């Protein structure tokens, strides 16, 4: 049995003193060597050395495990995402460069205590769903090395499945964060476009790309998302997700869409339909109400991805490189990407018009359902099969995934079982933009009913760490952390009390924030910015208010402030006031006061 690297398990060991980050690094190194001796699955493009990993571990030496949500948690990074000082290749050696700064998402994870362990193999330039289009070798499935891992985030999925990392980062443009999850018994979260900034990520189709999360459980994915999300002031596509855009699913009332049977395709996989029907039964047992959905408009959207100008967007992403060095590309990657030059500006507009027409047709579906359920991948394939028919089989794998990004939807792949050959299978739940946490919570419940182990580790899933049972919380109330003029007795506190707000308790944030007095407005504009290891604990209050009032409260919050996840000194998380990092430029740093009240009371 491989090590249990789930976040709750490691956190429990760190808090008890049973484990240190340096000891964890030694464990990871030992596990990697053991995996090497078994079979080369071509997981890594660049594996960090023991000394490099230890440098991250030793940076945590004087930190309290309670103060950082990802203290000592090992993670892997798809090699189209920058890690400072380590080459980024996108699986093309001639393209490689060594960044001086990490991608925003990577730096946030490191600041929260996570330890990077390596850069993972991928379909070159994130073009493919198979995991074999790489000069570093075809990445092999965690359960059977003859089968594909899925792609393009191939090594990211396999590293987590084999217990070499607690979670990993991938990217997803057409299913690259979901197909490998489905084929390796993992949770694969494709968040809403812009929820996680893509600064420092090599684009495939920049308008569609997201950073995806592979995890052992939905709870682990939720923990990572809370650290990773939020604008960074650099990515023009990044956006703050308002909390009130998400709603709880009530057992016996949530409605899930099921494609008409004539719209389902399993491409010769005779086990696909029974497996999917079993997942439907699980959702029925959770209190869901099935609604038949005509999938044809969604499938029509999917055809646009590789037949329209989004291929030209792929070409544009690496235009100067491909024109200078076409021979450097994998033959299949070149054949797909080079088609992008064929599309004209009129073609682009025509495709966008068609997309809008199809989007209008799909919009009505969301009036009747909360989530749409589909298989994740229609059929597993061997590496030999894919190499013999690389285009069609790749297309088959995208049957249920290609439309999601084009329609600005959120999605999560959930393991639901195994086929007779022991290759995992699963389903994907899809929802509207901004509904990522709704999907995570439902995925956790479905996962609990469906499988008994996570990845290929042999360990049972920790399924209850981050999702409180609805019977123990009020679904009619929302908690919010305030740190400025909304504090009790201060100028804007009436905005809470007028909405039947009630003070629950006074708290301190985790020691990972800086507070600024923002310029250009009245003196009640503090900004709380997450910075990681250079931060401090800030005094706050937790208030609760009726959920029906929360929307109007959030609507009154002006830029650069917003509502996001705030980490607390006791290790908990709550939604609260946060500030865009760019607003700190020119603002007065008042962190040393420890809170807004102290700042107001200090001599000026």
Query: 78 catalytic, yes or no?
Result: yes
Query: 354 catalytic, yes or no?
Result: no
What are the E-state strand segments in 50-202? 74-78, 115-120, 167-172, 187-190
Would you give the distance in Å from CA 296 to the centre of its chain? 27
CA angle, corner 307, sides to 305 and 308, nearest 5? 75
Of these residues, 176, 212, 378, 410, which one is catalytic? 176
Residue located via tokens 């948690």: 73
The DSSP-derived string for 485-543 is TTSTTSTTTHHHHTTT-EEEEEEEB-S-EEEEE-SSS-S--EEEEE-STT-B--EEEEE
Residue 74 to residue 455: CA distance in whole angstroms: 16
Compute the Cα dihedral for 25, 26, 27, 32 and give only its sign: positive
Element housing 28 (H / E)? helix 21-38
- 8-state DSSP, 568: B
Element housing 563 (H / E)? strand 561-567
Residue 47 to residue 27: CA distance in whole angstroms: 15
Residue located via tokens 């109007």: 552
Query: 176 catalytic, yes or no?
Result: yes
Instruction: Sort strands 115-120 and 44-47 into parallel, antiparallel or unpaired.
Output: antiparallel
What is the three-class DSSP state of 263?
Answer: helix
What are the strands of the beta sheet with 539-546, ordered from one edge? 502-508, 539-546, 477-482, 573-579, 561-567
The total number of residues written for the chain in this structure: 604
Residue 500 CB neighbours (<10 A): 12
Token pair of 86, please? 């380590």
Of these residues, 78, 119, 190, 445, which one is catalytic? 78
- 8-state DSSP, 593: G
Residue 564 to residue 575: CA distance in whole angstroms: 5
Task: Please say whether the beta carbons of 100 and 50 come within 8 A.
Answer: no
Task: Please say whether the beta carbons of 312 and 341 come within 8 A.
Answer: yes
Q: Give the closest residue to 192 by CA, choosing from 441, 430, 433.
A: 433
3-state helix, strand, coil in the chain (%, to 5): 35, 20, 40
Element housing 159 (H / E)? helix 154-161
Residue located via tokens 């000069």: 135
Of these residues, 67, 152, 465, 466, which one is catalytic? 152
Instruction: Sort strands 167-172 and 74-78 into parallel, antiparallel or unpaired.
Output: parallel
Question: Phi and psi (nearest 5°) for 189?
Answer: -95, 120
What is the three-class DSSP state of 335?
Answer: helix
Q: Give the closest residue to 213 by CA, choosing from 172, 169, 154.
A: 169
Residues taking part in catalysis? 78, 152, 176
């Amino acid at each position: 049995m491989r090590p249990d690297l789930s976040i709750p398990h490691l956190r429990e060991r760190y808090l008890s003193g049973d484990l240190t980050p340096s000891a964890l690094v030694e464990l990871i190194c030992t596990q990697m060597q053991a995996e090497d001796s078994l079979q080369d699955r071509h997981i890594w493009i660049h594996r960090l050395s023991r000394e490099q990993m230890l440098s991250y571990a030793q940076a945590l030496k004087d930190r309290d495990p309670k103060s950082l949500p990802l203290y000592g948690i090992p993670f892997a990074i798809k090699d189209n995402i920058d890690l400072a000082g380590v080459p980024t290749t996108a699986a093309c050696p001639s393209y490689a460069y060594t960044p001086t700064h990490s991608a925003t998402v990577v730096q946030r994870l490191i600041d929260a205590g996570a330890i990077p362990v390596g850069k993972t193999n991928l379909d070159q330039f994130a073009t493919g769903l198979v995991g074999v289009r790489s000069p570093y070798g075809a990445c092999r499935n965690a359960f059977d090395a003859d089968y594909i891992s899925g792609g393009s985030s191939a090594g990211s999925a396999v590293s987590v499945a084999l217990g070499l990392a607690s979670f990993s980062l991938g990217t997803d443009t057409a299913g690259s964060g979901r197909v490998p999850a489905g084929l390796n018994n993992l949770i694969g979260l494709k968040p809403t476009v812009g929820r996680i900034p893509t600064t420092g990520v090599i684009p495939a189709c920049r308008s569609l790309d997201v950073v995806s999360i592979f995890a052992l459980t939905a709870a682990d994915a939720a923990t990572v998302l809370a650290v990773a999300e939020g604008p960074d002031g650099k990515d023009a596509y990044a956006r703050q997700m308002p909390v009130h855009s998400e709603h709880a699913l009530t057992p016996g009332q949530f409605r899930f869409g099921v494609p008409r049977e004539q719209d389902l395709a399993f491409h010769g996989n005779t086990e696909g339909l029974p497996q999917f029907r079993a997942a439907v039964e699980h959702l029925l047992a959770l209190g869901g109400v099935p609604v038949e959905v005509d999938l044809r408009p969604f499938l029509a959207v999917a055809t646009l991805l590789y037949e329209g100008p989004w291929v030209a967007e792929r070409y544009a992403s690496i235009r100067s490189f491909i024109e200078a060095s076409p021979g450097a590309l994998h033959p299949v990657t070149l054949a797909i990407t080079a088609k992008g030059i064929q599309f004209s500006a009129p073609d682009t507009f025509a495709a966008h018009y068609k997309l809008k027409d199809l989007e209008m047709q799909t919009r009505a579906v969301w009036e009747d359902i909360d989530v749409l359920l589909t298989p994740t991948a229609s059929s597993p394939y061997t590496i030999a099969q894919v190499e013999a028919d690389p285009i069609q089989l790749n297309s088959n794998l995208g049957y249920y995934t290609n439309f999601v990004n084009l329609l600005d939807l959120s999605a999560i792949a959930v393991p639901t079982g195994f086929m007779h050959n022991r290759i995992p299978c699963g389903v994907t739940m899809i929802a509207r933009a901004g509904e990522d946490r709704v999907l995570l919570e439902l995925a956790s419940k479905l996962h609990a009913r469906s499988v008994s182990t996570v990845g290929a580790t042999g360990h049972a899933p920790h399924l209850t760490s981050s999702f409180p049972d609805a019977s123990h919380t009020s679904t009619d109330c929302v908690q919010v952390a305030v740190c400025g003029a909304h504090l009790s007795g201060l100028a804007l506190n009436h905005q809470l009390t007028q909405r039947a707000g009630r003070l629950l308790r006074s708290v301190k944030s985790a020691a990972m924030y800086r507070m600024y007095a923002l310029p250009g407005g009245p003196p009640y504009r503090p900004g709380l910015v997450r910075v990681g290891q250079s931060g401090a604990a800030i005094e706050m209050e937790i208030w609760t208010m009726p959920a029906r009032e929360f929307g109007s409260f959030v609507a009154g919050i002006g830029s650069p402030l917003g509502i996001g996840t705030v980490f607390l000194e006791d290790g908990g998380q709550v939604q609260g006031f946060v500030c865009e990092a760019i607003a700190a430029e020119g603002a007065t740093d008042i962190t040393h006061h420890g809170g807004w009240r102290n700042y107001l009371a200090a001599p000026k």
